[in-house]
Structure 1
Amino acid sequence: MSVLTAASPPARLLAADPATTAAWTGHDTLLLVMVGVAIAVIVLLITLLDVHPFLALIAGSLVLGIGAGMGLDKAVSAFGDGMGSTLGHTGALIALGAILGKLLADSGAVNQIVDTLGSRSGPKLLPWTMALIAAIIGLPMFFEVGLVLLVPIIVAMTQRTNTPVARLAVPALAGLGALHAFVPPHPGPLVAVSALNADVGLTLGLGLIAAVPTVILAGPVYGNFIAKRVSATPPPALVASLTAEDDGDRRRPSFAVSILTIACPVVLMLAKSIADIAFPGDRWVNSLLDFLGEPLVAMFLAVVLAMFTFGYALGRTRAQVRDIVTAGLPAVAGILLIVGAGGGFKGLIVDSGVADAIGKVAAQAHIPALLLGWLVAVLIRLATGSATVATTAAAGIMAPLLVGVGTTEASLMALAIGAGSLFFSHVNDAGFWLSKEYFGMSVAQNVKTWSVLSTIVAVLGLLMALLMHAVLV
């Protein structure tokens, strides 16, 4: 039961014939070199010259565009399209999450959750509790959505319990990241399942099995280690926004109401995913759940619900609720710009043809198939900064090599590719900047926390795929 290799004829996992693969050119080499140069420029501007990340990302994008020979007009166009696409996908979600967080804080719901969980968990169990909550929320949710939902709880809990930020933030990031990369119904794994002709249910089950030890080691275990070595301080404006002083005379929502309100988008998205997987078709129920389960719709409905449960139901007037909603937005304005600029940089990388260059290298490789799929995803992830793009592109590259294999092998390949798609998040990843800005870390501190834990998740995911291959195949 050895690991399948790309040169294993019985399994038909053969690497592409070099004769059918486009030849490597000097331009391909130039692209990869310029990506490295652009990333170095961004890091140096931020760390040595203390340039704002938004401006540094624009500068790095221009360096890449000019160096890759795209021309200034095409480079600017690619950056604008990438920024617009990223903000169109995550901008509204971040804004809605900020509003929900402000309603949570001002109503006392965050304090209620912190008091309840803190009293039941105890200081030693808090990281484990956070990892479990993040994994549950991360099952149906995009990473960005889950993070903006958890940030108020993490920030408030660290303030109330005097716990280092990294000790709670790392388990939350690990739980969200692992589920996003490993299991359907997240878009990357679903695309991989389709491209590789894998079984959705089997992939989901194997992904959950792989996620358990991965989240434990990358979350509470690594969080306890790095919290002693990294001192992070969330931005004061964000802390003030999310940790309003609790007025003893003010009514607070119950713990059950608070949890149900937060869980509203989770339930809607999960219902959509279950309906899509278990009851495919064009019935009106599927159409309704598809609509309600869209992340933007689900988050909007959660905010509307929160306006009632955390506002009107507690005796607040319409004007007071409107003021709370308005006050929740300024704290994330800078985050939105940075995330958008990161998307612009990613769009410019994609348009320059880096993924094609990576595909040429991968097609002629002769290494174990699961490792090859993982490496392809890693390279695309490092270049583009997007886990979904890395999973989608890697699955497309590996699909021709998996003709004739069983569903178990295909599902394990989907898992390996998903794991590779999370490898070493850095400056071209929106998640990198969300983590850095929300938890108030420097670039170096964020590399030690988020970048390292994402790498731990990626490596452990590959190891679990190889282990399960040895046992099951």
Structure 2
Amino acid sequence: METVQGGMLLIYTVIAVIALVVMIAKFRIYPFLVLIIVSLGLALAVGMPMEGIVKSYEAGTGKTLGHLAIVIALGTMLGKMMAESGGAERIAITLIKWFGEKNVHWAMMFIALIVGLPVFFEVGFVLLIPIAFNIAKKTGKSLLVVGLPMVAGLSVVHGLIPPHPAALLAVQAYHADIGKTIAYSLVVGIPTAIIAGPLYALWINKYVKLPEHNVLAAQFVEPDSNARTRELPSFRITLFTILLPVFLMLIGSWADLFFAPKTFPNDLLRFIGTSDIALLIAVLVSFITFGTMQGFNREQIEKFCGGCLASIAGITLIVGAGGGFGGILRDSGISDQIVSTALQANLSPLLLGWFVAALIRLATGSATVAMTTACGIVAPIASAAGGVVRPELLVLATGSGSLIFSHVNDAGFWLIKEYFGMTVGQTLKTWSVLETIISVLGLSFTLLLSAVL
């Protein structure tokens, strides 16, 4: 088969992306299968040697999951321990006390920013939605006013702020400094979350009215005969455990400030500061702070950790399939052609990172897959540009693009629709628009930061 070259590679890529959208959004085929089918089809169409197609796809999948699968698993374990111990509830109670019931929408945004750090969006949502239900009932506010700031906080953390696995993936791909990335992501992420969360929630609540009876909410707010008997962990202990991996990663990135490079203490700090080790340490600590200190025995802790992994199997497979798609793009020469075209057109790597991630997000419905694929395409461009753009800002631009307009091919879309008791139209007006606000503001603030730095 003749190998496709030049601009035809880009045409085939556009066709492949359109095929992804149609197969997932219209025909509702599972994204994992679609990504495999389209990846292999694209490889055959552009003339990749058949003996190398499967190897290329497997290599791309393995490269992605080799790092991310560990982070996903450890982050989910930490989130599960936090849920079972009541740590998330303790954070909610404390922050609501600080903010007051009138400002509860601000409290929910900050809760989400904290709780969302170690876990994926769906996990953080499931952890916090019972708190949102109870707060909405207690304060008499609409679930939109309470819940939209919460999902805005979770979404911003998911796409922009390490040590969340999605953001860490981009940090690794662009060879960015994690300490600087965290600092810049807070500068960009916090005002973005404020506008897309509490401010937008108060405005859209005037135009979207939820049904008075929510079946799911009733399950969480009705009195339970098996109510919690254990005392909640303290706020300090909870905050310490959740933020421990963040502190360890920061210390690792600043190892040269404490010890000379290539020395044992320096190497040790860098080792501890890697995402896998930092999260592993936090999980082990949580077995004490969220486990034995709360009266759970070893068997219960093992059950929590083993049971929570089943829920992330689908996410992990889709992420891996997205990595395989990226592998095909690289090995088929498509990435090189995009690099060549982008350099000739003198496109900004920041805008390209946002745009590519946005396209993949719309196609696959997964922010993490969008970041995985976009990073594989844009990283060579950034490298060829010779350091014109700070890699930390590339992380933020790509992350912002990966959050744009969640719609029917996104599991989060249906999760929010069902829990909030909304119609598809209401979900598009609230959640989908909220995600787009985050995406556009994230890019805008990143470009402003780029002009200042």
Fold equivalence (TM over 0.5): yes
Residue from 303, 316, 334 that aligns with 1:354: 334
Does the 8 A contact of 1:58 with 1:341 survive in 2?
A: yes
Q: Which position in structure 2 is the counterpart of 1:396? A: 383
Distance change in 2, residues 1:315/1:390 (3 Å): same
Distance change in 2, residues 1:459/1:223 (3 Å): farther
Q: Which amino acid aligns with 1:272?
A: G
Matched, 1:55 2:33: yes
Q: Which position in structure 2 is the counterpart of 1:373? A: 349
Q: Which position in structure 2 is the counterpart of 1:10? A: none
Query: Shift of residue 439 of structure 1?
Result: 5.4
C-alpha distance in structure 2 between counterparts of 1:49 and 1:325, whole Å: 35
Q: Which amino acid aligns with 2:328?
A: L
Does the 8 A contact of 2:197 with 2:434 survive in 1?
A: no
Q: Which position in structure 2 is the counterpart of 1:177? A: 159
Residue from 134, 145, 155 that aligns with 2:129: 155
Unmatched segments (≥5 aa) in structure 2? 137-142, 211-215, 361-369, 419-423
Q: Which position in structure 2 is the counterpart of 1:458? A: 443
Residues 290-337 of structure 1 show CA distances to partners (whole Å, capped at 9, x for unaligned) of 122211111112111111222222222222222222222222222222
C-alpha distance in structure 1 between counterparts of 2:261 and 2:186, whole Å: 26
Residues 18-74 of structure 1 show CA distances to partners (whole Å, capped at 9, x for unaligned) of xxxxxxx97232222222222222222222222222222222222222222224443
C-alpha distance in structure 1 between counterparts of 2:183 and 2:403, whole Å: 29
1:23-422 correspondence to structure 2 within 5 Å: 27-122=5-100, 125-129=103-107, 131-132=109-110, 150-151=124-125, 153-162=127-136, 163-164=143-144, 165-179=147-161, 209-211=187-189, 213-222=191-200, 247-276=227-256, 279-365=259-345, 372-378=348-354, 381=357, 382=359, 385-386=371-372, 388-389=375-376, 392-399=379-386, 414=391, 417-422=394-399
C-alpha distance in structure 2 between counterparts of 1:295 and 1:230, whole Å: 42
Residues 233-264 of structure 1 show CA distances to partners (whole Å, capped at 9, x for unaligned) of xxx9xx99xxx997342233222212211122
Distance change in 2, residues 1:284/1:126 (3 Å): farther
Secondary structure of the corresponding residue to residue 230 of structure 2 = coil
Q: How many residues align?
A: 407
Does the 8 A contact of 1:135 with 1:179 survive in 2?
A: no
Greater RCO (Cα-Cα under 8 Å, separation 6 or more): 1
Q: Which amino acid aligns with 1:393?
A: P
Does the 8 A contact of 2:244 with 2:282 survive in 1?
A: yes
C-alpha distance in structure 2 between counterparts of 1:85 and 1:209, whole Å: 31
Q: Which position in structure 1 is the counterpart of 2:213? A: none
RMSD (Å) for aligned C-alpha atoms? 4.2
Query: Shift of residue 464 of structure 1?
Result: 4.2
Matched, 1:425 2:399: no
Q: Which amino acid aligns with 1:398?
A: A
Query: Shift of residue 272 of structure 1?
Result: 0.9
Residues 314-366 of structure 1 show CA distances to partners (whole Å, capped at 9, x for unaligned) of 22222222222222222222222222222222222222222211222232235
Distance change in 2, residues 1:200/1:45 (3 Å): closer
Does the 8 A contact of 1:75 with 1:348 survive in 2?
A: yes
C-alpha distance in structure 2 between counterparts of 1:321 and 1:204, whole Å: 31
C-alpha distance in structure 2 between counterparts of 1:166 and 1:201, whole Å: 29
Q: Percent identity over the alignment?
A: 29
Query: Shift of residue 447 of structure 1?
Result: 5.6
